[in-house]
Each structure stands twice: as C-alpha cells, then as structure tokens.
Amino acid sequence: MEDFMRGYFVSFEGPDGAGKSTVLKEVLDKIGPKLKPQYLVTREPGGSKIAEKIRDIILDPANDKMDAKTEALLYAAARSQHVEEIIRPALSEGKIVFSDRFVDSSLAYQGEGRDLGIKEVKQINDFATGKLDPDLTFFLDIAPEVGLNRIQKLRPGQEDRLEQENMAFHKKVYAGFLKVKNLYPDRFVTIDASQPIDDVVNQVIETLEKRLPEIF
C-alpha cells in the first residue's frame, strides 16, 4: 500500500490538555499559506461522518459501563473508517494530512491505561488501518496533572468520559505515551508543552522545516 502514497502524514499526540488542537491550528495559521501541497486537518476519534458517530458513543459520560476491549475496538473501528474515507485518499492525492491524535493514542490509553497491552492494541489497529503509520509524530509532553487542570479551567463540567477518569488512569496513559515514544524514536519528536504556546508552535514549525523541507 505504501508505494503509491505521495502525501505526508503528520500526527499530534499527547495527554489530555496538552494543547494539541490549539497548537495545530496556530501552526497552520502561520505556515498554511506557505505549504506547497494542499493540506487537510483532521481529528480522532472522528474525522468522518461515521467515525464522528462512533466518537460520540466512546466519549459519552453516560456510557460508564463500557468494557475496555469494546472501547479499544470502537476506537479502531472509527479509525478504520477515517483512514479509508479521509486519510488514504488525501495521501494518494499527494496532500499533507495533519491529524489531532492517531494510533499512538490508543496504544497509550487502551494499551497501557486500560491494561490491554500495547502490542495487542497495535495488532487491532494494524488491521484497522492497513498498517498506516504517520511520517512524523509530535508528542506534546505535559504532566497529566497540568493537562487536566487546563481542561477543568477551559471547560468546567464538560469533561468527556475519558477526561473524567481518575488521576491514576491518566498517569498510566502518560507512562504509556513514553513507552510508545521509545518504540518509534525515528518518527517521534517531543516538544515541551508546558512552555508558552508561541514557543511550542515555533518548535513544531522548525521541526517541520527540518524534517520535511520539501513541503515548503
């Protein structure tokens, strides 16, 4: 599958409250007009009509009886649809795809956070995506306490089902991200997300210029 793909796939990962969507928006406000290829911004879970419906099921706080394996499979199902309907077609047209979360989130949240095993969750997702990996992944690194604190300030009382989990869960997720990052050192770039947002944005742009100079 990989041979005919001419586009570039860049993902943004990190704990809840790391500022992924804000950073992504500000990065593209700055460099969007300069990019040679067309680009597409998407998010997970979701990114397509069917996948967004699955997102609603996953994140609905009322679904508190959801089994961990069900959760992992729903994420993979949403991702499969997202990849086939949105990401692969864009890549085959030579576009740059920027995604707010991808498989690595499942490895951290379900593999480590829910104790399903990183390897096991990777297998489900390889099946779901046809083994699609990003070319470059930005890990916005922030302590889980700080990230959750940000969310509670930004949207008090509106936390989704995963954001509402206890601190022990979020610490496991963070540990999971560190493990995943070490599994894929070639494509992971770590950015300290506790810095002022302008610094985070500038470091992301500098990395893109260095790692993917051909897109500028």
> What sections of the chain are H helices per DSSP?
20-31, 49-59, 68-82, 88-92, 103-106, 118-129, 144-154, 167-183, 197-211
Judged on CB neighbours under 10 Å (0-12, 13-18, 19+), 192 is: exposed
Q: What is the pTM of this model?
A: 0.94
Domain 2-215 coded CATH 3.20.20.140: no
Q: Which one has a higher pLDDT value, 89 or 158?
A: 89
Instruction: Count Cα atoms within 13 angstroms, Cβ side, for 114.
Output: 19
- Asked if pLDDT for residue 3 goes beyond 50, the answer is no
pLDDT tens digits, residue range 162-183? Answer: 878 888 999 999 999 999 999 9
Q: Mind listing the pLDDT tens digit for each residue in 200-215? A: 999 999 999 999 999 9
Tokens 């995604």 sit on residue: 99
Over residues 25-51, the pLDDT tens digits come to 999 999 999 999 999 999 999 999 999
Task: Of 53, 96, 94, 58, give the one whose Cα is nearest residue 74.
Answer: 58
